[in-house]
Structure 1
């Protein structure tokens, strides 16, 4: 079991995953800041100052703050859209970078023997 664990834990994919999680966490704070400080206020201005975070109702001794839940859903949608657009841009840049330009091989002029052999080959193919 220890051997299997070592093979699993020290594969390159695990390190890539760990780096991805750390970078993802850092990127999450950037996107959250973007949503809270830039996109959120712009949406607030466009919607006439609509803010769901203050919506709540009380039931006996409990205060149910469903407005914060609605605001979290809106923030999630904005974060998801931002990530989608960012990743789409990265993928397009990667595809453009990786596209090799296919060069057609230049046909060198055939000498008379090669031309005759090519014609014979083509004729044999047609007869079959």
Structure 2
């Protein structure tokens, strides 16, 4: 059972997935920082110095933080667009590195001889049927 597990865990797909999750987590932190520290303040400045993260509607003791929701939506849009661009670039490089179909190799001497024999047999059959 242990050997089966090792074989499963060491398959390329599982390792690729683990690496993808780790890189995705790190990438998510970078994008969250971009949104929180760069984009939201700029958007707030464009909206007259408004801090989006602090936007909230308070009803009695409940606070509806719609500014934080807007920030999460912006975060999602930037992450999804960044992933789209990354995948698009990967596919572009993949297409470049794919090998072009190899041309058929020149026929060997045996193949040429067999082709010649086949053609002679066809000619002989055609003469006999006429």
Q: CA deviation at 1:64?
A: 1.5
Maintained 8 Å contact 1:56/1:64 = yes
Name the structure 1 match of 2:84. 84
* Alignment RMSD (CA, Å): 3.8
Q: CA deviation at 1:55?
A: 2.5
Q: TM-score, normalised by structure 2?
A: 0.63
Name the structure 2 match of 1:59. 59
How many equivalent pairs are there? 119
Unpaired runs of at least 5, structure 1: none
Name the structure 1 match of 2:46. 48
Unpaired runs of at least 5, structure 2: none
Q: TM-score, normalised by structure 1?
A: 0.64
Q: Distance in 2 between matches of 1:121 and 1:70?
A: 80
Maintained 8 Å contact 1:55/1:65 = yes
Question: Going by fraction, where is helix more abundant, 1 or 2?
Answer: 2
